[in-house]
Amino acid sequence: MNETVLTGTAEHFDVIRLWEEDDPDAVLAERAKEITAVATGGTTIDGAFLDKLPALRLVASFGVGYDKIDATAAAERGVIVTNTPGVLDNEVADTALGLLLMTVRELPQAERYLRAGSWNERPYPLTPATLHGRSMGILGLGRIGEAIAVRAQAFGVSVAYHNRSQKDVSYQYYPTLLELASAVDILMIVIPGGDETRHLVDAEILKALGPGGILINVARGTVVDEEALAEALSTKTILGAGLDVYEHEPAVHPALLTLDNAVLLPHVGSASIPTRNAMGQLVVDNLHNWFTHGTPLTPVQESTSLLQNPQS
């Protein structure tokens, strides 16, 4: 857990560092009636876990994505779930644009070429694509998606998007993902993971993106069918892909590791010390505000009904 969370919670709470316990299940069982809050950084929290803690009132998640937490099951048990939106938007948007530039201009490949000494023999080949003049389709125009859109336009890239519903923005809206993928040559994924979005980007979507298409994923690996993506890259159905997230991370699909038109990062979208500390502080602030004032700062959507009807 982030040190900011550890330090901040220690100031206000009796903290159990569960990962340091020899028998975490025994500790949970022994102190179940005392535990009123959980701070988590990626642990699966489902109905069975929640049932072990009858006094639980709040789950504070470190991160904007919370697909490993069954927020619906939590709401059914009267447990609020919070996440850390906003404080990481710019960092992830910067990473997304950096990853896009790396993929389009083959910058990691060029660096490997130099390090191998190949530049002494001949210049690196011209890249087949450029970023300027391209069109980007954003799958999920939330806070991070909008931050990416602003950056993309500064690079001369036009922006369109697909959401579950249209937003009051100037960007072109497409009611289906297939229509969006057919209309653009960069598909930027910024939607949450979970069952509803699993393999939303499949072979059909990749084919629609086309042979000049670039796929960038800074959201959740489960959104993309990695088998279909590996096939699309190897057959040049699309031009390239830049990935910061994976379906079974930290494991990466073996085929992706062999493909030179795939740029792969180890889930570092928000991984700077200042941003992670800001996320950690928001975890602490959610916990403190809830137990002091009865209102969390950033509840997830599934928890809003509990806040609107506190007696339910």
Mean pLDDT of the chain: 95
> Domains in the chain and their CATH numbers?
3-86+272-308 (3.40.50.720), 89-264 (3.40.50.720)
CA 229, CA 10: separation in Å to the nearest integer? 45
pLDDT at 119 over 90: yes
SS3 call for 172: strand
Q: Helical H runs in the chain?
A: 3-12, 24-31, 47-51, 71-76, 89-105, 107-115, 143-154, 177-183, 203-209, 226-234, 254-258, 273-293, 304-308
From the list 77, 143, 198, 267, the catalytic residue is 267
CA 303, CA 312: separation in Å to the nearest integer? 12
pLDDT at 250 over 50: yes
Question: Is residue 267 annotated as part of the catalytic site, yes or no?
Answer: yes
From the list 134, 220, 253, 288, the catalytic residue is 220
pLDDT interval class at 138 (50, 70, 90): very high
pLDDT at 312: 43
Give the full edge-to-edge strand order of the sheet including 158-162.
Answer: 172-173, 158-162, 135-139, 186-189, 214-217, 240-243, 262-264
**Cβ pair 264, 243 in contact under 8 A:** yes
pLDDT at 309: 67
Question: Is residue 249 annotated as part of the catalytic site, yes or no?
Answer: yes
pTM of the predicted structure, to 2 decimals: 0.90
From the list 179, 227, 231, 249, the catalytic residue is 249
The pLDDT tens digits of the residues spanning 61-98 come to: 999 989 899 999 999 999 999 999 999 999 999 999 99
The pLDDT tens digits of the residues spanning 179-195 come to: 999 999 999 999 998 88
Q: How far apart are the first and last CA of the chain?
A: 32
CA 293, CA 245: separation in Å to the nearest integer? 36
SS3 call for 168: coil
Question: Is residue 12 annotated as part of the catalytic site, yes or no?
Answer: no
